[in-house]
Structure 1
Amino acid sequence: MGQQVTSIPSGAEGIKELVALAHQARGVEIVNLIAPPGLEGVPEAIPVAIHHGTTPALNSVASLFEAYRDHPRRKTGTARALTLTSFIDLVNRHKTADSAVFADTNWEKPGFQAVIDYHGLNAIVEEPSSLAGETAIGTPANLKHRVAYEFPLSNEWKAWTQAHGEWMEQGRFAEFIRDHLAELAAPFDPERIAIEREFETTVASPADLIRLSRGLQVHVESAVKQAVTLESGEGQISWEETHKDHDGKPLKVPGAFLLTVAPFFGGEPVRMPVSLRYRAGGGKVVWSILLYRPDTFVTERVRDDLNRVAKETMLPTFEGSPET
């Protein structure tokens, strides 16, 4: 059976039919679409598919390849470190010449955030003559790849801050001191002199607090006979019962002691004065501890950690937050 041949009329009718057949032709042509001059931050050309036929269309070719991608186009997301050392190691693993570290130094909720793909600083141009100096021109970046460290609080620090300003009965306070002996420190002479001048009282050593806690345990069920403040600033308490402390004398209560505790999990400790107070009344004694300016000591610790980050990552650091 032979091939069927379509005949085309001559003249004007033939031309119309040829045009109609051309419009019905189907096919896809891939061409490069050139970016107009002055359009920054985009490729010079992008591949597009032109669909011919009765309903022509222009489509991106890139979307067809995305389903077959072997790896992401760029690094995105935020890694969260649990220790400062891990934060530094992660930053060093991913950093570029343009990376930067931002720090929130709020003592109640501090945090570090490294922006790996931060804006570049790759050229310096002179200002117009009407403006003095030079201006840095950098390459904008995505700011989508980050490493964060949120300074998780240590259990020891939580215990002391929860006890801060709270009045505790004698037995509970004695147990608290006993349970946290490991966080007590003996003051150095300059510290002792400064604390005694600030608090106008004596400063207890860890051994003094051990003796105090043991003496308090003896008198948990005893009625207070007398509580006085001595000229030294320390207190003195005696009970109705014949036995007193292990020396058979009224207990002497120092007005302050030194605490050494790491505010953050896996972090470095701070040394902080603590004021010790008590109230006697109705035959009972209640106790309270007051951390001395914890905001100052914690903020100093955070800034020391920021200096460590700058030194070990060799990146610029800023107190503040990134743009997005």
Structure 2
Amino acid sequence: MTNEAQTVAELAVRATGVPTTVKTESGREFLVLPAGHTQHDVTPPNSLDVHRPKNIKQAVTLQNADALIEYLNRFKSTDSLLLADIAQSRIVGALDYHAPDKAALVEHRAILDLPYSEEWKIWTGISGQLQPQLEFARFIEENAPDIKAPAAADLIEAVRDLQAKRTVNFIKAVRTSSDNENFEYTDNTEARTKGELEIPTRFLLSVPVYFGDPPVEVPAFLRWKLDDGNLKLGIKLHRAEHIRQASFKLIVTDAVEKTGVLAVFGKLS
């Protein structure tokens, strides 16, 4: 049996000088113009049967955990599987995963790369770094809403004291009974008068780890260094990686509870 192209070509050779419309067995229609044996596909739109794939081959990138849950609930099967890569904050839903007694293509995937919250990026970005006292004071002032303890009034007072003591020489630091750090200094502009500056040594932040998540408590400690009369200060988050991993596990657990899809910690190669 000749194919469609051959059929059209043969009819074109035999055609008269009048344009001819040819309809093939598959339902396609061609307009044949004898001059030069030109042909044009004039099949009416949407008139042919569309051959649909037997399996879904699709990788979808989602932007939050709710979208992952909704997508899983729409396309999941009894063999679907969640693979949670805790190191990369990535969850992959393998919708057409292998069954125990049957191999599958594993070509339909829902991918969620959990984005960090802006607050988490700010505080982890500054963690462990020492800054000049004025820069540190400005940072604390700008990000004070993320600090749960000490009280806002006490923190603002300490920050203002830091900003006011820009030209003094710091001598030493003494830990107080209230577990604050008391910095002693001399002020050369005021007849070498001596003074003290007290700063909290422990902080409790309340920030979300991932975008859209509720805030979690993150302990932090004051870090400081005296360098030839200059005071440098910083914040060190306590066990930040443990807190991040705990938040990731909660997201995975929530996805399992809301979809019924089994989760394992690992990643697809």
Report the TM range for the smaller structure's normalisation: 0.7 to 0.9
Superposed CA RMSD: 2.6
Is the strand fraction higher in 1 or 2? 2
1:297 aligns with one of 230, 243, 250: 243
Q: How far is 1:174 from its partner?
A: 0.6
- Residues 5-154 of structure 1 aligned to structure 2 (within 5 Å): 27=1, 69-106=50-87, 109-120=88-99, 137-154=100-117
Partner of 1:251: 197
1:165 aligns with one of 128, 138, 143: 128
Partner of 1:211: 157
Measure, in 1, the Cα distance between the counterparts of 2:238 and 2:84. Answer: 24
When residues 184 and 70 of structure 1 are mapped into structure 2, their CA distance, relative to the original with a 3 A threshold, is farther
Partner of 1:264: 210
Instruction: Give 1 or 2 for the bigger CA radius of gyration.
Output: 1
Q: How far is 1:231 from its partner?
A: 4.5
Answer whether contact 1:270 1:298 (CA < 8 A) is retained.
no
SS of 1:285's equivalent in the other structure is: strand
SS of 2:218's equivalent in the other structure is: strand
Measure, in 2, the Cα distance between the counterparts of 1:236 and 1:242. Answer: 19
TM-score normalized by the length of structure 2 = 0.74
Identity level (%): 26
Q: How far is 1:260 from its partner?
A: 1.3
When residues 208 and 262 of structure 1 are mapped into structure 2, their CA distance, relative to the original with a 3 A threshold, is same
Aligned length: 221
Q: How far is 1:250 from its partner?
A: 2.9
Answer whether contact 2:167 2:187 (CA < 8 A) is retained.
no
Q: How far is 1:139 from its partner?
A: 2.3
Partner of 1:131: none
SS of 1:102's equivalent in the other structure is: strand
Measure, in 2, the Cα distance between the counterparts of 1:230 and 1:281. Answer: 21
Q: In terms of mean alpha carbon deviation, does 291-300 or 275-284 score higher?
A: 275-284
Measure, in 2, the Cα distance between the counterparts of 1:208 and 1:94. Answer: 53
Answer whether contact 2:114 2:211 (CA < 8 A) is retained.
yes
